[in-house]
Structure 1
Amino acid sequence: MLLPSVFLETKSLPPERRLSLTLFGSSRKVIYMKRFLVSVLMLCAAGLASAQANFPQQPLKIIVPFGQGATDTVGRFLAERLQEQLGQPVYVVNQPGGIGTIGTRYVADSPPDGYTMTVSNTGTHAAAPSLFTNLGYDPLNSFTHIGTFGRVFWVLQVRSDLPVKSVEEFVAYAKANPGKVNMPYYSASSRLSNYMLSKAAQIDVYEVPYKDSGQVITGLRQGDLDAAFFLFDLAAQNEQLGFIKSLAVSSPQRATIKPDLPTIAETFKGFDMSSWLGLAAAAGTPEPAAKRLRESLALALKDPRSKEWFAAHAIDVYTLSPSETQELIKRDMKVWAEFVKDANIPPVQ
């Protein structure tokens, strides 16, 4: 029987020497194995770090949690600008449903690598928690918030023959006619606008449900309605009709695209009813990827073409850092929770 050379060499040695050599050999094998594993881990870490540092290395996609409309339009424009900054294709995918919660939940459940983002907004991240009992995501903790990029405002408009020219005069008219000033709501945000104004001014208006903004315009023309809130871009178009006039905008500061229009906050301090738009990826997105996205978003918004496009679509460039975005969401969630409670709106199961 042939024996290993090490065994032959150590067989004649005293037992304690053979044990020492055996242990030494085993220890050396362990050391070699440890060194090998450390090398493998270092290579993996280096590869991961390199991939993160060179982000992105493949196409990205932005999930718009709605169908065609304002959010989709701005999402596609933003994708074009980000594509220029990132050097990779940025695709837009519409995934509507559940007032935006289905597409938003999809992004929350996506791999946290920065390649899948969503257009976060007031509805999906502030209103939804109060409107759904089983939302499926946490607006704060399920996302890596890249930041906000735009804000759309609501304009209080009245029919032209209503004898008021300012917010103060409108409030006085409403107090003189309690429960007789007809105001419509045709979306969650338009209803919240009515609620916030009524609460701030302590007036009692009669709310009428309408299907869409087109029907509201008809109601104002026919005299069935007295006042209504419209998104800024539509309000600008309404002014050209000849039978609707603007009183004030719901933003905390005057809009840069129409600085001559007063704010409701000038009459009621702290009034702020604006719908914001942002960009968010799944929670746990590596910081190098998140940083690259933040920097690219900032550069895209500084592009003169972006400023021109946003102005043409009545969207105010509105930039907040990730931490500021978190605070915005917290504040708006409280506003919506109070509104849903006071309005006795039952949440969707």
Structure 2
Amino acid sequence: MKTTHFLGLLSFALALTAPTLHAQTYPNKPIKAVVPFAAGSATDQIGRAFAQKMSESLGQPIVVENKAGVNGMLGADLVAKSAPDGYTLLVGTNSTNAALKSLMKKLPYDQDTAFAPIAYLGSVPLVVAVNNDVPVKNLKELVALAKSKPNQLTYASASTSQRVSTEVLSHMAGIEMTYVPYKSGPAAMTDLIGGQVNLFTADFAVMLPQIKAGKIRGLAVTSTQRSKAIPELPTVNEALGFKDYELIAYFAMFAPAGTPPDVIAKLNKAANAAANDKDVQERFAALGFETAPASPEALAQRSKAETAKWAKAIRDAKIEAE
């Protein structure tokens, strides 16, 4: 009986200390970070930069895996269904962790409960741009052209932020364009340059090199303030006389729900250190990227607020769930 009692107490003690022991030894093998968009996208570039810096802090490599498709849903689903041990992470965005809930009739996971917030990484504005052969010099002229040719102008989209930003702009300006879906931002950019589509609204990582090379024409940025990276472009509000147009892309890191709090804390510390790193800040300054280190709790609150914000934007733009 004494032996049985002792073994019972030992098992109980081990159960209590297991999470602590796990946190003390974490990480003891490589970590996988899933980027739910294609290689070359802003999410990919930012995710890889953070992964490299976080690897230095954690002492283990963070291997980036691209899992693109369905506005980021495929990659998010992979992470949602992974073991909650801190070895599979999601480089999430407003697509995966705010807007998808309103864009899809049914998700293979519960967006509100499937993920444990780790850290907010930062945000970037988007740029509205057209093919060089579109006969407009500014956003006001584009609106006039679109009004004269309802649904004849086409716009590309490879993510939620790209589509919703364009649809909300169209709704507010009273125009109608035809939506052309793409699997990746780089693929959409190729077709914009080639003239297969007329307009594309995307992040600076995809847009700025092509604008500066003269391959496409930038018209406006989707933030409320002009970007230091391309100050000559007006905001949508400036260009069209709006007051409350703003749709930007943001990036954050998540783990599967149930990941131990001590592991989340280690990852948060490493992510915030990367966000404060001058190399990371300088590397992406030209893309309009602004870091914002914060706690997991702050990210949870932001995710809740952003989900409500994007739900309203999607309703206002009259985008039907697919």
Q: Say whether the fold is shared (TM-score over 0.5).
A: yes
> What is the aligned-residue RMSD (CA, Å)?
3.4
Is 2:127–2:202's contact at 8 Å kept on the other side of the alignment? yes
Q: Secondary structure at the match of 1:82?
A: helix
Over 3 Å counting, the alpha-carbon distance change for 1:174 and 1:85 in structure 2 is: same
Distance (whole Å) between structure 1 residues aligned to residue 69 and residue 215 of structure 2: 35
Distance 2:151 2:87 in 1: 52
> Aligned residue for 2:98?
126
Aligned to 1:215: 191
The 5 A counterparts of 1:251-290 are 251-266=223-238, 267-290=241-264
- Is 1:51 the equivalent of 2:22? yes
Counterparts of 2:266 and 2:246, CA distance in 1: 31
Q: Residues 151 and 69 of structure 1: is their aligned pair in 2 closer, same or farther, counting only changes over 3 Å?
A: same
Match of 1:248 in 2: 220
Match of 2:44 among 72, 82, 104: 72
- Distance across 1 between alignment mates of 2:274 and 2:61: 15
Q: Based on CA coordinates, which of the two structures has the bigger radius of gyration?
A: 1
Gaps of 5+ in 2: 183-187
Equivalent pair of 2:105/2:321 in contact (CA under 8 Å): no
What is the correspondence of 1:24-43 to structure 2 with a 5 Å cutoff? 29=1, 33-34=4-5, 36-43=7-14
> Is 1:106 matched up with 2:73?
no
| Cα distance change of structure 1 residues 309 and 46 upon mapping to structure 2, 3 Å threshold | same
In structure 1, the partner of 2:60 is 88
Structure 2 vs 1, CA of residues 190 and 104 (structure 1 numbering), >3 Å: closer, same or farther?
closer
Aligned residues: 311
CA separation in 2, counterparts of 1:102 and 1:187? 14
Matches within 5 A, 1:153-192: 153-158=125-130, 159=132, 162=135, 165=138, 169-170=140-141, 173=144, 177=148, 179=150, 182-188=153-159, 189-192=161-164
Alignment check: 8 A CA contact 1:139 1:329 kept: no
Runs of at least 5 residues in structure 1 that lack an aligned partner in the other structure: 1-28
Give the residue type in structure 1 aligned to 2:40: G
* Structure-1-length-normalised TM-score: 0.74
SS across alignment from 1:69: coil
Aligned to 1:297: 271
The alignment partner of 2:125 has SS state of strand
Q: Which amino acid aligns with 1:246?
A: G
Verify the 8 A CA contact 1:248 1:261 in the aligned structure 2.
yes
Residues 248-285 of structure 1, C-alpha deviation per residue, up to 9 Å, x if partnerless? Answer: 21123333433454322454333222222211101111
TM-score normalised by structure 2 residue count: 0.79
Q: Does structure 1 conserve the Cα–Cα contact (< 8 Å) formed by 2:102 and 2:321? A: no
